[in-house]
Amino acid sequence: MSDTIYYQTGDIRQEDFVLHLHLLNDSERLRAMRYQHLSDKLRFACTRIALKRLLAQLTKSNAEHIAIQLTPEGQPYCVQEGNRWQISVSHCEQHYLIAATRAELAIGTDLEVCHRHAACHSDMQTSFCHPQEITLLKSLPPSQQNHAAQSIWSVKEALLKARGTGLRSDPCAIRLPVPFPAQYDLKIWGAHFRLIQQTLLHPVNPLLLLTFCANNPRADWLPVSTPM
């Protein structure tokens, strides 16, 4: 039987913060208040609230009783009813992508608003692209280069989250196909990862880029609707 990873996308809205602020514990509220800008406060708080509500939905628990913990490497997880849930969180501008599984998997996600990520400009590609990727990007038509670079960036973000190191590992050491396909299997670090990428239409931003990564090629990614 395939392992299942549940995921959800949504918008970061101030009304959700006001309505569900009680779901954050004292430590989470303090962390939110440390951010200087309101947009950053809302981004952390609303994503954490959405994550607790998703886990409550999956475990049939009260969201107020969901406790998010961090590994020594900073990866979030949750222990509920004797089950350990692996978690991945990503957000960009006013959107979030969250995922959780109780399977023993390494998972990673990334969410990008297409064509708006400064790291995908050609003068920044050396910070995350393998030299062969840069060569292939330059061979693409100019109209495709930015999206292709952003796709590579997003995949590496998800992959390094799944590894548990984030950008403490050098993304330039990873070589991916350019342009990146909708699905790709990669053997690296002694593991077999399946990488999936899809776009999502949004009524405000034209296109969101979603990237999913798990170290089980047979794992199923199942979308979960936002509870009312």
> What domains are defined for the chain?
4-223 (3.90.470.20)
Is 83:102 a contact under the CB 8 Å cutoff? yes
What local confidence, expressed as pLDDT, does residue 123 receive?
73
DSSP state of 53: H
Least Cα distance to 164 among 220, 95, 105 occurs for 105
The encoded tokens of residue 199 equal 């776009």
Torsion angle, CA of 41/119/193/218, rounded to 10 degrees? 60
Q: Is 225 exposed, middle or buried (0-12, 13-18, 19+ CB in 10 A)?
A: exposed
- Can you give 128-166 as a three-state secondary structure string? CCCHHHHHHHHHCCHHHHHHHHHHHHHHHHHHHHHHCCH
What local confidence, expressed as pLDDT, does residue 228 receive?
60
Which parts of the chain register pLDDT below 50?
A: 1, 119
Cross-strand pairs, 42: none
Q: Evaluate the omega torsion of the peptide bond into residue 72 and state whether it is cis, within 30 degrees of 0.
A: no
- pLDDT tens-digit map of 2-20: 699 999 999 999 999 999 9
What local confidence, expressed as pLDDT, does residue 1 receive?
46
Q: How far is CA 160 from CA 43, 134, 141, in A?
A: 21, 20, 28
What local confidence, expressed as pLDDT, does residue 79 receive?
96
How far apart are alpha carbons 137 and 141 in whole angstroms?
A: 9
Is 188:169 a contact under the CB 8 Å cutoff? no
What local confidence, expressed as pLDDT, does residue 202 receive?
84
